Structure 1
């Protein structure tokens, strides 16, 4: 299964615009309905970029389902790994943008939706969570109450993570160390990044941790060599983060586990995603094939709109998820109560429409 560039059929986008004046569900009504859906337990959850918007990480699409940045041009896996000089230029382009964009993602904190889902996981209402996000914020929300092993067993990062890097020979480096290597081999870019921070300038950061800069040359950007490869007697600057690029295949074990997580659940809850990426959409289709109840919480059109068996609530998750947890779990657990008063609300600047 290769990840293709996400799309939402034009018919769905057009229908959404025509129905934009339809009656809206109130937050109280939405919280009650979602709580009813969660109350039986054993609910699998799929999350997308919309969940992290309140943490300051911009989504790719806005409430109309269209790309917020019309000039967005993703780098494909075959381009990034191309051993030719052209591939080297693609790696320069990716790593300069990721070098500047990683810090905001690394410093981001979980928001109320992350903590609400963490509470439902902590109390075993949600045995399995599948996220398309690569920011690690679901993990941060559970870091005080779960071990790393528990998080690995109960959360699946469908598209990988920004927090590790590996070379083309499989040698893994944690991202903070790799970030230091990038600073050491690119002192002029380190100075540029320091100046951006000192002057309060914040380039537009995408959810995959890269930035958009216009009119900037990256011809002098140096991608560091893999030190393990050097010790083994080879030069290797082909390095990539442990996330799935467009055109790259999801690892078989991840694909298999994602299906198993849906199969073992009794129902499926989806939030903060348009499901434009087929790797997530196929999991919805799998749940529908198994006749599992499906409830979706998202503001704006999605690839699932109009599918039989999918109930949808048009609303941002931050408006309702805390109240959902209170309705499902009550107020007797001190850890849950702490989670429900935790979380930042710091959305990124608007681009003419609200991210979702």
Structure 2
């Protein structure tokens, strides 16, 4: 089976249209004018979480930032043979090390600005390709979980839940504790990393690259529920979509419905390299909806004339966009608090961290 990491086709990278730089003032005005009518569906990608310290997959030139990175593919993770077990050892060791930076990340100013627009119903639905849960964190103080689940669609799943192959679900921190208890050497490694602040480079899915490491002695614990039923089962998977895995039909269908229910589609922080996101652009255009893309660098939609592109970092303008759209409604205490909130902690350019 041949599965490759999704990317922007080379011919698009080679013919990226040249656009004059846009001023901050002009960008604020264009984005505000686009969303002011309301009932907007928003699609976000990894670029939205960069200011929270989570690296994007691709750089400003649109190319994969670590071309030698080899993620675990879906068919490898679920393989029930000894070979599959080795893949799971590799995945869960790297994810054990990489999960805490994602778990501990906090929403940035873009997350909170979007939350303010969601709270005021300017954004009616939000679809995210991110698995970090930061959109939920940003609005959890004003929306309960059922409301969040109905208004935020995690297109590629979440890193914060794990299931065994029999379907027993556990929250990720509990699973993280199981991994720590089963692997005291790596538990100590993590404690040392926390003391020194030196962490391996973490990808948006919580995976890391560990050089010169043997995975052979890493213990992936059995599912306790399966064990209580006299079964041994250490085949676990996080609730995210792996490369080579299909998005569930109910999630795919809901993503199309969310686009259809909105009057316009605003995308931000995404190169649209994955087809699961790009097909939503195509669907919106087929529905004759206005489409805007807010992203720095090349994207898969750059040669589509119907897509209006604004090339500027979201964190630079989105608070001002919210103020321009909501006007006096920014005096709502909840909105005021959101527009004062958000970290700015972009990751280091050091590829070893």
Structure 2 length-normalised TM: 0.96
- Report the equivalent of 1:338: 337
* Separation of aligned partners in 2, 1:198 and 1:70: 31
- Report the equivalent of 2:12: 12
Corresponding pairs, count: 347
CA contact (8 A) 2:7 2:63 kept: no
- The reply on whether 1:272 has 2:266 as its aligned counterpart is no
Q: Deviations over 1:172-201 (max 9, x none)?
A: 000010000000100011011111221221
1:304 Cα deviation (Å)?
0.7
Aligned runs of 1:4-153 on 2, under 5 Å?
A: 5-16=5-16, 19=18, 22-153=19-150
Deviates more, 1:64-73 or 1:271-280: 64-73
Deviates more, 1:22-31 or 1:171-180: 22-31
1:35 Cα deviation (Å)?
0.4
* Separation of aligned partners in 1, 2:190 and 2:138: 28
- Which runs of 4 or more aligned residues in structure 1 lie more than 6 Å from their structure 2 counterparts after TM superposition? none
Aligned runs of 1:301-316 on 2, under 5 Å?
A: 301-316=298-313
1:332 Cα deviation (Å)?
2.5
Unaligned runs of 5+ in 2: none
- Report the equivalent of 2:202: 205
Q: Deviations over 1:69-128 (max 9, x none)?
A: 121112111100001111011101110010011101010000000000000000000110
CA contact (8 A) 2:7 2:64 kept: no
Q: SS state of the match for residue 113, structure 2?
A: helix
Unaligned runs of 5+ in 1: none
* Separation of aligned partners in 2, 1:234 and 1:138: 37
- Report the equivalent of 2:231: 234
1:255 Cα deviation (Å)?
0.7
* Separation of aligned partners in 1, 2:340 and 2:252: 35
Deviates more, 1:327-336 or 1:181-190: 327-336
- Residues 110 and 292 of structure 1: is their aligned pair in 2 closer, same or farther, counting only changes over 3 Å? same
* Separation of aligned partners in 2, 1:162 and 1:204: 17
1:4 Cα deviation (Å)?
6.5
- Report the equivalent of 1:219: 216
* Separation of aligned partners in 2, 1:151 and 1:204: 30
Aligned runs of 1:293-332 on 2, under 5 Å?
A: 293-330=290-327, 331-332=330-331
Structure 1 length-normalised TM: 0.95
1:308 Cα deviation (Å)?
2.8
Deviates more, 1:151-160 or 1:67-76: 67-76
